[in-house]
Structure 1
Amino acid sequence: MNSWNSTTDSLLLAFPALFSIVNPIACALIFSQLTADNTPDERKRLAGKVALYATFIMLVALWAGTTVMNFFGITLSALRLAGGLVVVASAWGLLFAPERQEARKQEQAVHAANPEDAAFFPLTMPFTTGPGTISVAITLGSNRPPAVHELIPFFAGNSLAAVLMGAVIWGIYRYADRLSTLLGHTGTRIFTRLSAFILLCIGAQILLNGADDALRPLFQSHLDQH
């Protein structure tokens, strides 16, 4: 039961963070424009490829990102502090200037003359899962618990969040044209800002975890001396 709760907690933290930074609804509207000349079957195949590649990128960042950082001598608390700042900065930009974020993503993907040949670059990387998503995934992975027996439920929850995020990307991209008609410009803006606020809160929590890791030993040492 305890392991199940840990898995659920990890899932409930990771999925909103990934969803907010990927922002698949806003991306789907651009995806719909870029694939407007493709047949419905071609768009479905392309949506599947992008979702598969995006899931792989998120899983690698979640599982191996912290190890790579440790190789360069970056401590876990430093990674959490830096990652939390990146998440907060990304959320702040999405919250107050979503138009700028979407324009940047559209500029990254506009050079894909043949989307079938561009499923990985640029439609997956950096359009769908760019540096921001990778930073968030690495930061989430860095929040691993110290106890060894808690690692499996922790990574199970995070991995499930990445897989679910991939499924969401697939579903939303698959029906991007319908979604574009349903939501419209105003609906997308509202949803983007709500997601950005959730991401801002998650980034603040990760930042607090990093500060606690870094400052607790200092305070403990000071108390021991007195």
Structure 2
Amino acid sequence: MGAADLLQSLALVPLTLLPIMNPLSGAPVFSMTVGGDPVASRQLARQVAINCWLVLVGSMLVGTYVLELFGISLPIVRIGGGLLVAASGWRMLNRSDDDEVQAAVKRNQTVAWTHADVVRRSFFPLTFPLTTGPGTIAAATAIGAGWPRQLQMYVAGAMVAVLGATLTVGVVFLVYRHAGVLMAKLGEVGSLVMIRLMAFMLLCIGIQIIWTGWAELNGITSP
């Protein structure tokens, strides 16, 4: 594998995964979760980035083998994950003032976050399914499945992919770290509009993922 191939493989990971992950769509939810606490924002953004890195690298390294072990195909993963994404979008659209995220925001105004709080709130829904959803996992698994099986080539491909995953989650960290600034510029009304819009888009993305998985199972060309 030459230098040009290595660079191409390195660029492939963020170019493939970032459009699917789309951290901008999760910025409103992230901002609501941390409230106006800059310390919590930095801690949570870092933990979400770590979680995303683990999901991406794990999917690339062992995703194919795990699916084969349990006899699960990628289309089934898409359908199951799409249901989770659609359900998350539906909950966001129908959220009341007493839901978990709003309660967390109110607590953040007076209570400092502990490390346990950061870890607990960083995975669902921020890491999964908002950032590294089923589409991302399926794409990362597909990247890993395309590596050569010769040991030296496999190790080289894995190292490059891990570096690419690091660059990808670096972008996620920067977006989430400054999510509060973005929402502040939008204002209260703009933030509410963006949150509802992203919730609707998340619902549509979930339905699209379900359709893609179902179409793959039935040999139908996805629109």
Q: Which residue of 1 aligns with 2:78?
A: 80
Q: Aligned pair 1:121/2:116, yes or no?
A: yes
Distance 1:73 1:92 in 2: 30
Call closer, same or farther: CA 1:92–1:167 in 2, change over 3 Å: same
| Cα separation, partners in 2 of 1:110 and 1:73, compared to 1, 3 Å | farther
RMSD across aligned positions (CA) = 3.8
Q: What SS does the corresponding residue of 1:49 show, helix, strand or coil?
A: helix
SS in 1 for 2:178: helix
SS of match in other structure, 2:142: coil
| 2:65 is the alignment partner of 1:58 | no
Partner SS state of residue 35, structure 2: helix
For residue 100 of structure 1, give the secondary structure of its aligned residue in structure 2.
coil
Q: What one-letter code is carried by the residue in structure 2 that aligns with 1:76?
A: L
Q: Is the 8 A contact 1:77 1:210 kept in 2?
A: yes
Q: Which residue identity is paired with 2:176?
A: I
Q: Give the alignment partner of residue 146 of structure 2, picking from 135, 145, 148.
A: 148
Helix, strand or coil at the partner of 1:115: coil
1:1-226 to 2 correspondences below 5 Å: 4=11, 7-14=14-21, 16=22, 18-20=23-25, 23-29=26-32, 31-32=34-35, 35=37, 43=38, 45-64=39-58, 67=63, 70=67, 72-94=70-92, 96-97=93-94, 99-100=95-96, 103-108=99-104, 114-116=111-113, 118=114, 120-126=115-121, 128-131=122-125, 133-136=127-130, 137-139=132-134, 140-143=136-139, 144-145=141-142, 148-149=146-147, 160-173=167-180, 175=181, 179-180=183-184, 182-216=185-219
CA contact (8 A) 2:86 2:202 kept: yes
CA distance in 2, matches of 1:51, 1:172: 9
Counterpart contact for 1:61–1:134, Cα < 8 Å: no
1:165-213 Cα distance to aligned partner (Å, 9 max, x none): 221121234x58xx54x44432111111222233234323322332233
Change (3 A) 1:154 1:167: same
Residue matched to 1:40: none
Percent same amino acid among aligned pairs? 20
CA distance in 1, matches of 2:162, 2:66: 17
Partner of 2:152: none
Indicate how the Cα distance of structure 1 residues 135 and 26 shifts in structure 2: closer, same or farther if over 3 A, else same. Answer: closer
* Conservation of the 8 A alpha-carbon contact between 1:52 and 1:166: yes
1:63 is aligned with what amino acid? V
- How many equivalent pairs are there? 195
Contact 2:30–2:179 (CA under 8 A) maintained in structure 1: no
Q: Give how far 1:107 is off.
A: 2.5
Q: Which moved more, 1:144-153 or 1:157-166?
A: 144-153
